[in-house]
Structure 1
Amino acid sequence: MSWWILGAAVFAAWTIDAAIGFGSLVIALAIGALVLPLDVIMPVLVPLNIILSGYLTVRYRAQIQWPLLLKQLLPLMLLGALVGLLTRDFFNAQTLRLLFGSVVVWFASRSLWFAFNRTARAHAHRGWVTSLLTFFAGITHGLFASGGPLLVYALTGVQLSKQHFRATLSLVWFALNSGLTLWYGLNGSAFMHVNKTLLFIPVVVGAIVFGEWLHHRISEDVFRKVVLILLLVAGVLLLVK
């Protein structure tokens, strides 16, 4: 039953990401961690994200902001992810779960505040603060494959169109998750449930197709708020369970 729940979470999360452009891993991990340990589901879900991020990278490659990507995002994120991977064994499963739940609750709460308060404005960070937050986003990605919330916060005030932002971050996730998948392959964890990963590939492909279809037929604003509320609930459950 736990794997059926994870499969449903994968379909929902990848559909949401394809439809409104954020959160496939965060959403799937937040739901999946309620029924399975993070160290079990991460090697299953991270390779699946390569399909979506690779698709978005190829499709929107003309909109990638290469100077920002190569000079700041990739170096700091890769370095942070390596630190996260090397220090992960210092945390037990319960601590990782609480850390991840805290990140989810913070991200969902902050996003909902700005979604429901149109007059609220996020202030741009100073350059060194942006770099430091980007590095810590890499650490959270190495710890639990969810650097997105902190990276989005780090880039507050960076002048990018929605299209440029999505395309550039898609390549970040493609690179980082390819590296994580290689890491899981080298330590053997990628092969523990490789049958589940292969089984979920058609689920991901179907979710991408369905999400692209929904993208042109739904109110993104309403859909985003509903998703954030559900993500907030999942984060709270991770903290109290």
Structure 2
Amino acid sequence: MDPWMWLGLCIFIAFGIEAITGFGSIVIALSLGALLLPIDAMLPVLVPLNICMTSYLAIRHRQHIHWPTLLKMILPLMVGGTLLGYLLRPALGDNTLQILFGALVIWFAARELWRSIRGLKVSQHGSGWTRSWMLIAGITHGLFASGGPLLVYALTGTQLSKSAFRATLISVWLSLNGLLTVVFALDGSLLPALPRIAMMLPVLLAGVVIGEFLHHRVNENRFKQLVYTLLLLTGALLIITTL
């Protein structure tokens, strides 16, 4: 299969999942796509596409955004972390990036799958622990545009409703991916990616429409277990194919 056709399929699946859960589009598309394409080649395509989706979802669900959590806790730490991660990326190299990304995906998927299957309740982290993980989540977002796993971990136990959690996460990705897109424009990687972005837009729209339809119609716990299992297998494949 042509690698970019494969990425289109990954985008359809991944952006549909984010429309359902509020996170996962880039981490899923990147982890599946990295089986055939380098991470650096995909990021200037996936990040602007994510902005297209999150702009729509953020406006549609703006009444559910928890602004104090977004503006006072998450963004100040994750913006700094994102810029730091972006600066670290050239020094690591493609193979190291892929191994680190695979390890991140495996850790997150295994943790969440175990917690979901066992029905384990989560308790809120202390303030210092939460903020530390938010900064690290920002670094992983700068490296892979995939800060979701660690941000979800950082927010474990916070008293946000399902709708508020989803809408706040969507606003985080809109803000941080807007920042990354500006950076990609400045470093020259955005312009060559524009034709592929245009080609993938209809695929994204189809995924979002289906995801929005399914958001209130699927068993969320079972659906997440399926997603985590997919991520666990994909993370393992990423590492195996790199070694």
Bin for the TM-score computed over the shorter chain: over 0.9
- Please name the residue that 1:218 is paired with: 218
Partner deviation per Cα, 1:81-120 (whole Å, 9 max, x = no partner): 01111121110110000111011001110110111011x2
How far apart, in 2, do the equivalents of 1:167 and 1:215 lie?
Answer: 13
- Please name the residue that 2:7 is paired with: 6
- Please name the residue that 2:124 is paired with: 124
> Are 2:12 and 1:18 equivalent residues in the alignment?
no
How far apart, in 1, do the equivalents of 2:216 and 2:137 lie?
Answer: 31
What does 1:134-149 align with in structure 2 at a 5 Å threshold? Answer: 134-149=134-149
Runs of 4+ in 1 over 3 A off after TM superposition: none
Name structure 1 gaps, 5 residues minimum: none
Partner deviation per Cα, 1:162-205 (whole Å, 9 max, x = no partner): 11111111111000001101111111111223211110011111
What does 1:199-238 align with in structure 2 at a 5 Å threshold? Answer: 199-238=199-238
Contact persistence 2:23–2:169 (CA under 8 A): no
Please tell me the residue identity of whatever aligns with 2:11.
V
Name structure 2 gaps, 5 residues minimum: none
Q: Post-superposition shift, 1:206?
A: 1.2
Q: Post-superposition shift, 1:14?
A: 0.8
How far apart, in 1, do the equivalents of 2:231 and 2:4 lie?
Answer: 19
Cα distance, 1:38–1:219 mapped onto 2, change above 3 Å: same
How far apart, in 2, do the equivalents of 1:230 and 1:57 lie?
Answer: 26
User: Which range moves more in the overlay, 158-167 or 25-34?
Assistant: 158-167
- Secondary structure of the residue aligned to 2:89 is helix
- Secondary structure of the residue aligned to 2:157 is coil
How far apart, in 2, do the equivalents of 1:210 and 1:159 lie?
Answer: 28
What's the % identity of the aligned pairs?
50
What does 1:116-195 align with in structure 2 at a 5 Å threshold? Answer: 116-118=117-119, 120-195=120-195
Q: Post-superposition shift, 1:223?
A: 2.1
Contact persistence 2:79–2:176 (CA under 8 A): yes
Please tell me the residue identity of whatever aligns with 1:234.
T
- Please name the residue that 1:58 is paired with: 59
- Secondary structure of the residue aligned to 1:112 is helix
- Secondary structure of the residue aligned to 1:217 is coil
Partner deviation per Cα, 1:123-161 (whole Å, 9 max, x = no partner): 321111111110010000001100000001011122111
- Please name the residue that 1:76 is paired with: 77
- Please name the residue that 1:115 is paired with: 116
How far apart, in 1, do the equivalents of 2:104 and 2:220 lie?
Answer: 23
- Please name the residue that 2:98 is paired with: 97
Q: Post-superposition shift, 1:234?
A: 0.5
Q: Post-superposition shift, 1:26?
A: 0.6
Provide the aligned C-alpha RMSD in A: 1.1
Cα distance, 1:30–1:65 mapped onto 2, change above 3 Å: same
Q: TM-score, normalised by structure 1?
A: 0.96
- Please name the residue that 2:41 is paired with: 40
How far apart, in 1, do the equivalents of 2:184 and 2:132 lie?
Answer: 26
Contact persistence 2:23–2:170 (CA under 8 A): no
Q: Post-superposition shift, 1:22?
A: 2.5
Q: Post-superposition shift, 1:218?
A: 2.9
